[in-house]
Structure 1
Amino acid sequence: MNSKTLLLSLSALYLITISAFASENSQLQPPPVYEGKIIENPDIPPIYTGGPGEMNKFISGTLRYPSDAVERNVQGLVVYTFIVEKDGTLTNFDLIHRA
């Protein structure tokens, strides 16, 4: 076997080995299940069905601004934390900032 053939064979073997390892690592793994635990910073964040545009449409369609606040021109920022349950419902609302 001459050196060109040997080099070509080793290169082919190297490429086959690399592609085999790459295909093993590229398969998506299902997210881990944490029974009864609250995950504060999940690897995969929850996504509103339909995306951010649909979420904004839902919020603007259901938000109720108090009439006395409208009359007095009250404005501000309110920040809540909440838990997204497995079925997508929101629970445990907690007011963390009001300005």
Structure 2
Amino acid sequence: MEAAPDFETLRARRNAAVQEMHQRMADEWGVPLQSLRSNFNPGACYCACATGGPCEHKWDGEGWESEDGCAWSATCSRCSSTAMSHDMRNAP
């Protein structure tokens, strides 16, 4: 039986890589790091589905329905992401 991925460590590595990228961007633009704005969420699930890696999402959250009622999606109980948006990001 294969050991479960260490998502805490994987998230920490991802977050450090994003922090480094933000710092490089700030340095390149000559602005303070604190002046940059990002929608990156360091607490979001770790997901490497696009590269065949592990995925931390748990698709057992409350269902999501669009305002017009024409779309429905499962959601992740951990981060509230919709399965629909996950699939659009990771589609082949």
Per the TM superposition, whether the score is higher than 0.5 is: no
Q: Which has the higher strand share?
A: 1
TM-score (norm 2): 0.27
Based on CA coordinates, which of the two structures has the bigger radius of gyration? 1
TM-score (norm 1): 0.26
